Amino acid sequence: MSDVSQIVLSSLLNSMSRSNLNNRNSLSTTNSDPFDYILKNTLGNSGGMNGSCTCSCSCSNNSLNTLEMLSTILSTINMSKIDTQKTDIHSQNSNTINTTTVNNDSIVNESKVSNINESKTSNKMDNAIKSLEKQIGKPYVWGANGPNAFDCSGLVRYIYKTELGKDIPRVSYDQSKFGQAVEKKDLQPGDLVFFDTMKKGKVSHVGMYIGNDEFIHASNPRDGVKKSKLSGYYEKVYRGARRP
């Protein structure tokens, strides 16, 4: 509400209060409507409309002047309501904008955190693959866990523990039941690939996928640790993949 509106309404209320107190006895003896009586006395006290005109304007029609004054007061009150409603709407819109901004900022921050975590995981896996490639040429020894010699399951367990901080089962058969199953078409670097090289109907060999349809494994005492393709012989004995 504007300062002018406050002054007008305050003056009106004070005038009505004084009029009601000064004319209480007259109100009890008159036959006119109480509200109409108080209103006329109030408007008369406020603007000189009680039968004797004190202004420089023409006052030949008291009823018309009274109506004009009342209309002016009502217009002031309505304008004050509109101003208040505008203020409330502006406040609500500001709160909505602030809430939306906070929510959008939260989404952006969560996305940034997710991207950072994915980047860290990718970097760790890249380092793990590089470490795995450094083992190529080392000898195969059944039951060996590294770092100078490995068997197939000992090699992948060594890489996962030292480079990725994950402790996975020791033997290939147990490793083939650990983690999340992965379709061949969905293989990613670091996934473990399993084979039935003993032709006994169960997993007996494991390697680590490095991309481009290739994997690294501790093959046998003759070849040691080497890189192979998931084709030919290994495609025939392939038995699935897991992501620890």
pLDDT digits (tens, 9 = 90+) for 156-169: 999 999 999 999 99
pLDDT at residue 94, as a whole number = 60
Catalytic residue among 55, 59, 90, 152: 152
Residue 217 annotated in active site: yes
pLDDT at residue 60, as a whole number = 42
Q: In the numeric block, which tokens belong to residue 200?
A: 């006994």
Catalytic residue among 53, 57, 90, 217: 217
Catalytic residue among 55, 57, 59, 205: 205
Give pLDDT tens digits for 213-230: 999 999 999 999 999 999
pLDDT at residue 214, as a whole number = 98
Domains of the chain: 3-101 (no CATH), 135-243 (3.90.1720.10)
Strand order in 180-182's β-sheet?
Answer: 180-182, 238-243, 192-195, 205-211, 214-218, 225-229
Residue 205 annotated in active site: yes
Give pLDDT tens digits for 90-131: 566 666 555 555 555 555 556 555 556 666 678 999 999 999
